[in-house]
Amino acid sequence: MSADSTPSGRGLHEGSELRLFSIVIPALDEADCIASTVEHLHVELRLKEIPHEIVVVDDGSKDATWDVLQRLRERIPELKPVQNLGPHGYGRAVVKGLDIFAGDAVCIMMADESDDCRDVVLYWETLQSGCDCVFGSRFAKGGGVVDYPWLKLRVNRLANWVIRQMFRVKYNDVTNAFKAYRREVIEGCRPFLAPHFNLTIEIPLKAIVRGYSWKVVPITWRNRKSGQSKLKLKEMGSRYFFIMMYCWLEKYFALGDYRRADAPARSRTAETATYEPTRRG
């Protein structure tokens, strides 16, 4: 049994074709790069004839991000910009997008074009195979990173090692924000608690713990060429730990109360899967 899906979930959606792919992109002061991100994404999806909408959530930008989005909307009808006027934070902006997306599947990606648009196509094709979630790995065979800051890379590898030990899974890039889900996964993982970047681990860990099927595909990541990263390591450590412990307590002590209704009960033992990510075509 491979770790590209959970034991209970393989083939749950065979024959269930997806009709619209929503891409949710939170943006904060990304005026220099949001246009190229949206344009390249739209072109790639259009060339592959994937029906889509692009939901960009402006999370209180102080630069011209919103003005850029308004001009883009005149040329790209699939673009649906929205402003997060309430409390700000990466997680809150993503949840804002998850509250309004119209598709039957959704991909969460970054605004700085660090995520590869071709991998969005790979996510769509993988979801169409029947799984509930697609998790990208930059550290699987076939994946890669370019210009990853040295300190963040070391912290990333340590954090993912801890998560793998605590949840006893082989997937090695849980902290990566770039993932895709069927709509029922998003609804089944609510309510979301994480207001900041710790949402990047809350959704996949809840999906795994609650019995949704998942596949791993190799992806590439490139450091941003403009603007500044919004992830601050000093501010995020305790927040990541809180969400990790919340999901860990649910896994081992909730007795399956939050598992999807059609997932068989499972004892509080380790996943027995081995790690064999889906290869690129």
In a domain, 220, yes or no: yes
Predicted pLDDT at 4: 46
Are 119 and 217 contacting, i.e. CB atoms less than 8 angstroms apart?
A: yes
CA angle, 177 then 178 then 184, to 5°: 95
Tell me, what DSSP letter sits at residue 2? Answer: B
Under DSSP, is residue 240 helix (H, G, I), strand (E, B) or coil?
helix
Q: CATH number for the domain including 75? A: 3.90.550.10
Mean pLDDT check: name the lowest of 12-21, 70-79, 201-210, 215-224: 12-21
In a domain, 11, yes or no: no
In a domain, 270, yes or no: no
In a domain, 41, yes or no: yes
Mean pLDDT of 196-215: 97
Mean pLDDT of 86-91: 94
Summarised one tens digit per residue, pLDDT across range 214-256 is 999 999 999 967 655 545 556 567 899 999 999 999 999 999 9
* Closest CA relative to residue 194, chosen from 212, 178, 206, 182: 206
In a domain, 174, yes or no: yes
Predicted pLDDT at 176: 95
Q: How many domains does the chain have?
A: 1
The residue segments making up the domain with residue 226 are 21-253
Q: Rounded distance, CA 277 to CA 218, Å?
A: 7
In a domain, 157, yes or no: yes
Compute CA 182 distance to the chain's CA centroid, rounded to the nearest angstrom. Answer: 11
Q: Rounded distance, CA 81 to CA 30, Å?
A: 13
Amino acid at 128: Q
Summarised one tens digit per residue, pLDDT across range 109-160 is 999 999 999 999 999 999 999 999 999 999 999 999 998 888 889 999 999 9
In a domain, 281, yes or no: no
